[in-house]
Amino acid sequence: MQRWEYRVEEHEYGLSQGRLDSLGRSGWELVSEVVLPDERRGPKIRAVLKRPTD
């Protein structure tokens, strides 16, 4: 059975292409991105990534 490790990152403008490339080279796969509204500080984008642990 495949096991996964998860990572959550939040950024003001989402993950840059360079950051995604770097994470991909480390085995991370982008699962989803969600916009988190915040009226005081402005929205953030939450990215959820996963990679196999085995």
Range of the domain at 32: 4-52
Domains: count for the chain: 1
According to the model, what pLDDT value does residue 29 have?
Answer: 97
- Tens of pLDDT, residue by residue, the chain (54 residues): 999 999 999 998 889 999 999 999 999 999 999 999 988 988 999 999 999 997
Q: The domain that contains 16 carries what CATH number?
A: 3.30.70
Write down the pLDDT at residue 34: 96
**DSSP string for residues in the chain:** ---EEEEEEEESS---HHHHHHHHHTT-EEEEEEEE--TTT--EEEEEEEEE--
User: Which pLDDT does position 28 carry in this prediction?
Assistant: 98
The pTM for the full model equals 0.84
**In the prediction, which pLDDT does 8 show?**
97
Which residue, 25, 28, 21, is CA-closest to 48? 28
- CA–CA separation, 21 vs 19, rounded Å? 5
